[in-house]
Amino acid sequence: MCTPEPTCPENATICSGTSCLVPRDPFNDILNVVMSTTLTVMLALVMFSMGCTVEARKLWVHIRRPWGIFIGFLCQFGIMPFTAFALSLIFNVLPVQAVVIIVMGCCPGGSSSNVFCYWLDGDMDLSISMTACSSILALGMMPLCLLIYTTVWTSGDAIQIPFDSIGITLVSLLVPVALGIYTKHRWPNAAKKILKVGSVVGILLIIIIAVIGGVLYQSSWTISPSLWIIGTIYPFIGFGLGFLLARFVGQPWHRCRTIALETGMQNAQLASTITQLSFSPAELEVMFAFPLIYSIFQLVVAGVAVGIHYSVKRCRQKVSADEDGEGTHSTVEDQNKQNYALENGGFHCDENGNSEDKDKATKL
């Protein structure tokens, strides 16, 4: 019985018996470009709506007195890189894995923090100014932090900093926010409507980005358990330390929430770009999923924080409503007492509802 000879695919470039060289399928690359462009445009629209919450006067106050921005800078480029370095040593990960953890810790804050800051009733003016300042300072602080913390495992020249990506992130943040600020100044009623839509779209966009990242890079999920553990606890540490430091220096609660968000929520897309530019495909297999893991769990932490915040807020509103109801009830009772006294002999009542005749009887 004759067996049919194997045939090479039509798009094969080199054939040698049963061995064929087939060009790489560009579908994932095309999909990646299309989705990146679409998400960038959507993110710009979301940041435009977030800019509709910002008042230029308050923003200028934060810039003139940058105490909150300084605390955020200390958390962003002090606490987070050192925490990444410490976790890498504690879990004794591979050198390339340690480098990607530190790269994640050295990245500036992402735009997701601005969306969650709105939902957590934070200081939007501070959030926008911190995100912009961290992106600007990252141009110098990222190379410095990477030089300090990664020399244990690799040379500083081995890591490429995509300054163009940082610049694009900065432009995509500042331009839409500036337009949003102008819109709020000129058309405040329209800004309120834009904000309502943009805040919902922002949450949906963050979820879509997480899902798409998981689908496009699903082959990278098989990594060591230590990276899963670090990716899970690292966001909690970032949020917690940022909140505690802000509270320690006396910042009000809404600014503590803002600084915590700006500390814990890193620009995972920038971290992925750096790792792709700096390492070989073999090295990427054991490290590339970490930015995705961190991104997912930072969204989980922020989502839990929003849920807790609204639960506490609802309980406080309920308690306040009950107290108001009791006050209204007592006021109605006092008014009924006075009306009863006036209808029965023209008695005059004091603030406790006591009549003058009772006072006279007491004197007698």
- Residue by residue, DSSP assigns 219-275 as GG----HHHHHHHHHHHHHHHHHHHHHHHHTT--HHHHHHHHHHHH-B-HHHHHHHH
Of the candidates 113, 103, 108, which has an alpha carbon nearest to the alpha carbon of residue 77?
A: 108
Tell me the average pLDDT across 195-224.
70
Q: Does position 28 have pLDDT exceeding 60, yes or no?
A: no
| Portion of the chain with pLDDT greater than 90, in percent | 12
Q: What is the pLDDT of residues 91-110, one digit of tens each?
A: 988 888 888 899 899 888 87
Of the candidates 130, 133, 134, 126, which has an alpha carbon nearest to the alpha carbon of residue 77?
A: 134
Q: In sequence order, what E strands does the chain have?
A: 14-16, 19-21
Q: Which residue has the higher pLDDT, 8 or 54?
A: 54
Strand partners, 16: 19
Distance between CA 128 and CA 117 in Å, rounded? 9
- Confidence label for 158 from pLDDT (cuts 50, 70 and 90): low
Q: Which residue has the higher pLDDT, 364 or 238?
A: 238
| pLDDT in the model for residue 351 | 39
Least confident of 135-149, 206-220, 235-249: 206-220
| pLDDT in the model for residue 181 | 84
Distance between CA 290 and CA 166 in Å, rounded? 20
Tell me the average pLDDT across 9-34.
58
Q: Which residue has the higher pLDDT, 288 or 329?
A: 288
- Confidence label for 241 from pLDDT (cuts 50, 70 and 90): very high
Distance between CA 132 and CA 171 in Å, rounded? 9
Q: Which residue has the higher pLDDT, 186 or 344?
A: 186
| pLDDT in the model for residue 213 | 63
Identify the DSSP state of 154. Answer: S
The letter for the amino acid at 65 is R
Distance between CA 201 and CA 161 in Å, rounded? 31
Q: Does position 9 have pLDDT exceeding 70, yes or no?
A: no
| pLDDT in the model for residue 332 | 44
| pLDDT in the model for residue 245 | 92
| pLDDT in the model for residue 128 | 84
Residue pair 47/172 in contact (Cβ under 8 Å)? The answer is: yes
Q: Does position 23 have pLDDT exceeding 50, yes or no?
A: yes
Of the candidates 345, 306, 320, 351, which has an alpha carbon nearest to the alpha carbon of residue 113?
A: 306
In the predicted model, what is the mean pLDDT of the chain?
75
- Confidence label for 144 from pLDDT (cuts 50, 70 and 90): confident
CB proximity list for 160: less than 8 A, separation 6 or greater: 274, 277, 278
User: Is 21 exposed, middle or buried, given 0-12, 13-18 or 19+ CB atoms closer than 10 A?
Assistant: exposed
Tell me the average pLDDT across 195-208.
75
| pLDDT in the model for residue 218 | 58
Q: Is 186 helix (H, G, I), strand (E, B) or coil?
A: helix
